[in-house]
Amino acid sequence: MEQAQIKKVLVVVDMQNDFVSGALGSAEAQAVVEPVVQRILDFDGLILYTLDTHTQDYLNTKEGQKLPVEHCIAGTEGWAPNSAVWMALMHKNVADEQHMIAKDTFGGVSLPMRIHEMLAGVEPEEIALVGLCTDICVISNALLLKAFYPESTITVDAAACAGATPEGHKTALTAMKACHIDIINE
Ligand SMILES: [Zn+2]
């Protein structure tokens, strides 16, 4: 693979069963599965996907104290990616550990490092984000990437993201715009 040539990156954030149809699922999250699948299939560049990954003692973590709903416990059905999204990732030959960022909190600290490694230090022209939830993990990773890549265009596809609530989705889009993240398909 000529990865040094790839200058566009797509980050698929937390499209996992627990956020779509499981413990923290919602109709809004289910409605973005198809747009996310389409973005993956149409994308020409490096595709990475993040997985929220907790341990059995989730409720004792800081996140567990604020959000006392067990979710994305490593290895469970709820932790697994949504099946349609997984099929799309398989179709693009990226359904593997090399393209997976397992993260134990909202932002994936290894995400920018992985991009750096996989692009052999070449700065991406654009990093696009899709997935869940707009107001928690999408915004966290978008701002994280903005800090690491100030000269890259960071794009969030509003039609391929859903918030923990519809209001949260809108608020997060506004906050990201203020930080010069391009919101498309709003
Ligand atoms: Zn979590």
How high is the mean pLDDT in each 10-residue block of the chain (186 residues)? 70 98 97 98 97 97 96 97 98 98 96 96 96 98 97 98 98 98 97
Q: Is 36 in contact with 160 (CB distance < 8 Å)? A: yes
**CA 80 to centroid of ligand 1, rounded, Å:** 13
**CA 102 to centroid of ligand 1, rounded, Å:** 11
Contacts of 18 (CB under 8 A, 6+ apart): 24, 25, 52, 71, 72, 78, 79
**CA 159 to centroid of ligand 1, rounded, Å:** 22
Residue 3 resides in a domain: no
Residue 56 resides in a domain: yes
Print the domain residue range for 107.
11-166
State the total domains in the chain: 1
**CA 3 to centroid of ligand 1, rounded, Å:** 31
**CA 63 to centroid of ligand 1, rounded, Å:** 7
Residue 179 resides in a domain: no
**CA 70 to centroid of ligand 1, rounded, Å:** 8
Q: What's the pLDDT score for residue 95?
A: 98
At position 56, the amino acid (one-letter code) is Q
Backbone angles phi, psi at 103, to 5 degrees: -135, 140
Residue 186 resides in a domain: no
Residue 70 resides in a domain: yes
**CA 106 to centroid of ligand 1, rounded, Å:** 7
Residue 181 resides in a domain: no
Q: How much is the pTM?
A: 0.96
DSSP state of 23: T
Contacts of 5 (CB under 8 A, 6+ apart): none
**CA 55 to centroid of ligand 1, rounded, Å:** 10
Q: How far apart are CA 31 and CA 114, in angstroms?
A: 29
**CA 5 to centroid of ligand 1, rounded, Å:** 34
Residue 5 resides in a domain: no
- What tokens does 10 get? 């797509």
Here the CATH number for the domain that contains residue 150 is 3.40.50.850
Q: What's the pLDDT score for residue 5?
A: 62
**CA 69 to centroid of ligand 1, rounded, Å:** 9
Q: What's the pLDDT score for residue 4?
A: 47
Residue 174 resides in a domain: no
Contacts of 73 (CB under 8 A, 6+ apart): 54, 55, 56, 58, 79
